[in-house]
Structure 1
């Protein structure tokens, strides 16, 4: 059952709650991003350190850094000793772990500011804000693409705990992660299923960004990196993964992706779609917020199970099993008809 306390409408019952919620979220994100990028967060996690040492390490004026440290200490993100030393905690570690997500929030904020004019002009807010559709922009800005890959890695680590405990894949020899980004999902699957091999498939520019990380993995010899377009053709495999891919695209674009996979499938192959499932009655959960994110970033959307059923049927698949996740991404396994 969805926790109704997640609904942000409750902040509108009191003007003080409303102000503090938004004020802390906006400026807190800015502070955490700044300290992550400056290397300050990583230094804090190495052990107790003075603000002066952190200022030198991060090349930030000590008085201004001290104010940011006070802010995070007040919000219980780190600890300040009586002698003034800064100490990290599990929350500080999560702040660094979530660096890709926090950067993504900052990028999204600029795009969100263009929501109304973009809707009226028939563009996505991201394109309105940045001048190009999101994946074209990533192609011409590899640093931004790398940051987005870190965000995808964060999301993968969130969902893999659920998948490996709640959804076991049928035996397979080769798994292909289509749109596999930095390879986080594929490497996690190979680690969970010994004796298997995998393919990370993504745009050639993304594959080159992912290559150093994948090749540094102890599982590298079991991984093939393949560049291409999932709208055109994908490699053959026994198990296909589409994690947070279909929600980026409209139905016709999704049918093209699914058609490429169906054409490449070996006999007995399966496709696992890892995406949010919208509830039939709107709930204040992760999926409905991400649905608006898709409106801001691209032409996609989140879907109800009935929407997926219709989409898969139109692409020559049928749903074999669904493992719903009330707190994030669900798993929908489909097979060719």
Structure 2
């Protein structure tokens, strides 16, 4: 690292200027990432460019800073502007109030030996004579926390960005944090170069225009993996995230925000009837999560946040209200469920969730809407070969089909097919309205009933997100009702999240916990489902993936696979 005595800031700055002049992307990258060469080096040079080197200096005042810059041949086009990020980092590192730290940032240009113009990024913490900030300056000069080199990705294609991050990791660089700057609309990925790096800098910045939250989230997760206490603390605050999203939905803040422009805090607070300072706190938290964005004009919805509007296509507002409402309350009893096997929802509300929701029309409607909110899982299902190959006039029977979202999609995709929806009486009426509004009333019949009432004569039977509600014995009973109704030529399509056999990350694993705690059901592996089908006289003949970690399992009567 570059080091110097307390009075050597000018020397350190001059060394930084010389470094920027002498280096270019192709020479600097191998110094930072030993072993990088050949095609890999050429690929990185093609996609990112060395932009600046940075350091922190400690002038007594503005005049001394100007003199330091002049001694190093630097000319600042503008006065220093506040550096909030560095000030906050210094405050945390040295347990100081940020208000007592005057930190500015300058980016004077440098004409380099290769003819390019790069920058020296100068952070300046003002340390007046006799100030107790001398100890801060001495520590920072020794450790060089803020010294770094920066590369910029000019054309930030997500695939390229993932490849760059992977290449840095392949050659020994470790994730060192990062973040999104809404004022510049840019994302920063920090890395720590390996110990064997030959450059005088270990901290490397990769700057990318725009917001790249998915890639940044993965980068930060890897960084936190090296900081277990921080990782655990973030996990422990997961309940806060659920309630923040639920409050955002309950207050209808997303509905009050224009989809295309930023809205000022005062206007937004007035619109939703919220206490302005507390709304600001909520919105800052949601900004950190990527649900909203912030700029000088106020707050705006991101693509994620738009899904919490009631009128959004594929709206998930109902899910936020359900997960932040009844299901959130029952999750407080998860420990008792694990210890005793009792369903936490039933202990909290005195009855199973189906009966509880059926007794309350508002809750029943919310539950049906929340089920429909996960409908993106159904997007590819109408193109399943069983449906595309069904004969003219064939009937699709949707068993416990909810409000008819899935059946409506199938009938819209296949005008030659007919539908029959089996559901509880109050839900049948909601489905009748939805399917009628979609123009399918003439091709769809409705039957109020239970699983014992599965009608015979269907050509394709659909059982979507039903089996995970029940234990194995009840699943076998449901499947036997299906098998009795099915002819030898009928098909059954079962839509469920399937637990991965290799233990890899999956939404199914999270839903397994949810089903255990709130419903008394479970998610299952594919081989487990195959055994349940076999016990009911059915055979699993195919499986295909769906969005949101869903699967469609193709089932037929045993002995009829090839008919």
The TM-score, its normalising length taken from structure 1, stands at 0.86
What's the counterpart of residue 136 of structure 1? 355
What's the counterpart of residue 336 of structure 2? 117
Which deviates further from its counterpart, 143-152 or 74-83? 74-83
1:190 correspondence with 2:411: yes
Instruction: Report the RMSD for the aligned CA atoms in angstroms.
Output: 2.7
Partner of residue 296 from structure 1, selected from 491, 509, 517: 517
What's the counterpart of residue 216 of structure 1? 437
Q: Deviations over 1:198-243 (max 9, x none)?
A: 1222111222344433332233433323211114444642111111
Structure number, greater radius of gyration: 2
1:87 correspondence with 2:300: yes
Q: Deviations over 1:263-285 (max 9, x none)?
A: 22245211001112223332221
Q: Tell me if structure 2 keeps the 8 A contact 1:11–1:21.
A: no
Partner of residue 254 from structure 2, selected from 41, 49, 54: 41
Relative contact order, higher structure (CA 8 A, sep 6+): 1
SS in 1 for 2:447: strand
Q: Deviations over 1:22-48 (max 9, x none)?
A: 42x322322222222232211214554
CA distance in 2, matches of 1:124, 1:72: 32
CA distance in 2, matches of 1:264, 1:203: 19
1:65 correspondence with 2:283: no
Q: Which runs of 5+ in 2 are unaligned?
A: 1-217, 310-314, 559-563
Q: Which runs of 5+ in 1 are unaligned?
A: none
Q: Tell me if structure 2 keeps the 8 A contact 1:176–1:235.
A: no
What's the counterpart of residue 233 of structure 2? 19
Q: Tell me if structure 1 keeps the 8 A contact 2:290–2:302.
A: no
Which deviates further from its counterpart, 290-299 or 10-19? 10-19
Q: Tell me if structure 1 keeps the 8 A contact 2:463–2:494.
A: yes
CA distance in 1, matches of 2:225, 2:446: 47
1:336 correspondence with 2:557: yes
Q: Tell me if structure 2 keeps the 8 A contact 1:167–1:323.
A: no
CA distance in 2, matches of 1:104, 1:144: 9
Which deviates further from its counterpart, 46-55 or 138-147? 46-55
1:287 correspondence with 2:508: yes
The TM-score, its normalising length taken from structure 2, stands at 0.54
Q: Tell me if structure 2 keeps the 8 A contact 1:321–1:334.
A: yes
CA distance in 2, matches of 1:76, 1:329: 24
Answer 1 or 2: which has greater strand percent: 2
Give the C-alpha shift of residue 171 in structure 1: 1.0
Partner of residue 485 from structure 2, selected from 264, 270, 274: 264
SS in 2 for 1:218: coil
Distance 1:236 1:41, change over 3 A: farther
What's the counterpart of residue 400 of structure 2? 179
CA distance in 2, matches of 1:330, 1:177: 17
Give the C-alpha shift of residue 120 in structure 1: 4.3
CA distance in 2, matches of 1:134, 1:228: 18
Distance 1:280 1:225, change over 3 A: same
What's the counterpart of residue 318 of structure 2? 100
Q: Tell me if structure 2 keeps the 8 A contact 1:178–1:242.
A: yes
Distance 1:192 1:37, change over 3 A: same
Answer 1 or 2: which has greater helix percent: 1
Aligned length: 329
CA distance in 1, matches of 2:470, 2:505: 23
Q: Tell me if structure 2 keeps the 8 A contact 1:133–1:298.
A: yes
Distance 1:60 1:223, change over 3 A: farther
Partner of residue 52 from structure 1, selected from 258, 266, 274: 266
